[in-house]
Amino acid sequence: MITNRDKRMATTLARIENSIYRILSEPEIMARLANYGYDFGAMHSARNLLEEVIRLNRVPDNYDGKERLLLESFKTVKNDFENFYNRHRRLVQEMDNAAAKAIWRRTYPEHPDYQKWLSQADIFYVALLENDSVKEALMKENVPESELMQARNLIDVMREVFKEYRKQKGSELKEVIDLEQKISELEDWYNRFVEINRIAFEGEPQTLEILGIPVAMN
């Protein structure tokens, strides 16, 4: 969805882009502005800043899409895992088996922090897979060892997807911060640039019009 902010940004960037490229393509205008510090090198630096803003301005939507997909993928895997984990924990808790009760106590209460909760789940399944008596008891409840291994593998998948999600979210945040900084730099440059052009081309409204700069009203 294109917002009003996006439209304003696009209009502003198009205006600045027009000014920069017209100056770079008009030797006479360039020569006049060079007297005010806007020589070829300065205009190329401004163009590079503009292109960086344009690049960064496209990034958030791309990242948002990737972030959404990763988050949905994570939720799906987590839901699949919890279907296993909740059932297996309940069965282990209800067993009249000292080893099972010891395993259950090692993962109770469930930690509210996601990373620590995942570590608890990891401990739970490693302990189950290493204990033959508990595995045999679970077999009688229609929980084969392959199901325990499947649940254990989902922990690794969750960790990887969550890691990518956090990485993506962190990258997006950095890109947004960089964009805001670059926009501020570009706006400061352009505001000063407009003032200088009005001085350099005072009495030449047609030149200002070529550069996309409104004529100052008295």
DSSP output for 173-209: HHHHHHHHHHHHHHHHHHHHHHHHHHHHTTT-HHHHH
Q: Where are the domains of the chain?
A: 4-210
- CA torsion sign for 90, 94, 100, 103 is positive
Percent of the chain with pLDDT over 70: 82
CA atoms within 13 A on the CB side of 64: 7
- When pLDDT is cut at 50, 70 and 90, the band that residue 72 belongs to is confident
- pLDDT surpasses 70 at 30: yes
Residue in 28, 6, 26, 8 with CA at minimum distance from that of residue 18: 26
Per mean pLDDT, which range of 7-11, 120-124, 156-160 is the poorest? 7-11
| pLDDT score for 118 | 85
Q: What is the pLDDT of residues 166-187, one digit of tens each?
A: 776 665 555 655 777 788 888 8
List pLDDT tens digits, range 39-48.
Answer: 888 888 888 8
pLDDT(60) > 60:
no
Whole-number Å distance between alpha carbons of 97 and 188: 72
Mean pLDDT for 18-39 is 86
Q: Is the pLDDT of residue 218 over 50?
A: no
Asked if the bond preceding 144 is cis, omega within 30° of 0, the reply is no
The residue to which tokens 């009760």 are assigned: 101
- 149 has pLDDT over 70: yes
Distance CA 147, CA 29 (A): 75
Cα separation, 86 vs 42, in Å, equals 64
Read off the pLDDT band of 58 (50, 70, 90): low
pLDDT at 128 over 80: yes
Pick the residue with more confidence: 165 or 197? 197
The amino acid occupying position 159 is R
